[in-house]
Amino acid sequence: MKFVDAAKKGLGIPEATHFHVSDEVKAYFADLKNKRAAIHGEWNKVYLAWSAANQELAKQLDAARNGTLKAEDLLKVVPEYPAEGKAATRNSGGEILNHIAKAVPHLVTGSADLFGSTKNYPTGLGDFSAANPTGRNIWFGIREHAMGAICNGIAYDGLFLASGATFLVFADYCRPSIRIAALAKLPVTYIFTHDSVGVGEDGPTHQPVETVSGLRVIPNLDAIRPGDAEEAAGAIAAAFSRNDGPTLLALSRPTLTKRRLETASFSLRLIQGVCGMMHS
């Protein structure tokens, strides 16, 4: 404490003041406040004039700023799917995302260099770049953690709905940014594909059995694993209508036939039973 007192004395700060703000600093920020209030007033006049002249665009902007999307409204733009139609949920998920992205102009999506496999590429919406800032598909490159961090930044800004895609197993590379989104209640959507109980199709390194369980225990992260195209539609609509935290969609590479679903259910019950014995 004596060092603090000595430093204050050396700086000419009154001893009785715990937090001292000089008159010069107060005057500077008071003047800055007045200047910025005037600038905001001028901006608001321009915005109101623009809103009156562009009512439909203003409506879209207000919807983006207020986060008023509802899952039931998003499902209205998605065609109905039979239970086993397009049952590889990465495929049906890609089609569903296309419909929703074209109906929601403030939705942007991207991939860690895996658009061709994750199927999360809305067609006709262009690629984001310095030359094309209106493009809505972002090529993040092979950098999952950076992808998650960039999506967090977009969500913090609050205007756009951000999503990023990679293989489910690579969630480990971006887990810190996923946890930040969950803790900060950021509405980011993760479209993670190649989820499968069929270990061996892409090698055991791509289907570790603990991945989904490890993600589901992250507080405030909604981890959804749809079992068919119809469930995928509901999951994607739920993800993009959520505004109090992130959602992770685990989508399958193989077709989810009835037999595969039964196998997956059996495997899940088996894992739960083993975990139950370990904790008892």
Q: Known catalytic residues?
A: 144
**Which contiguous run of DSSP H or E holds residue 138?**
strand 137-139
Beta bridge partners of 249: 191, 224
63-74 burial by CB neighbour count: b if 16+ within 10 A, else e? ebeeeebebeeb
Structure tokens at 104: 């929601």
Say if residues 92 and 232 touch (Cβ distance below 8 Å): yes
What span, in angstroms and rounded, lies between the C-alpha atoms of 96 and 116? 16
SS3 for 191?
strand
**What CA–CA distances, in Å, run from 72 to 20, 241, 245?**
54, 9, 19
Say if residues 237 and 74 touch (Cβ distance below 8 Å): yes
Beta bridge partners of 188: 162
Maximum CA pair distance of the chain?
Answer: 79
The closest alpha carbon to 84, from 255, 262, 266, belongs to 255
The dihedral sign for the CA sequence 255, 256, 260, 263: positive
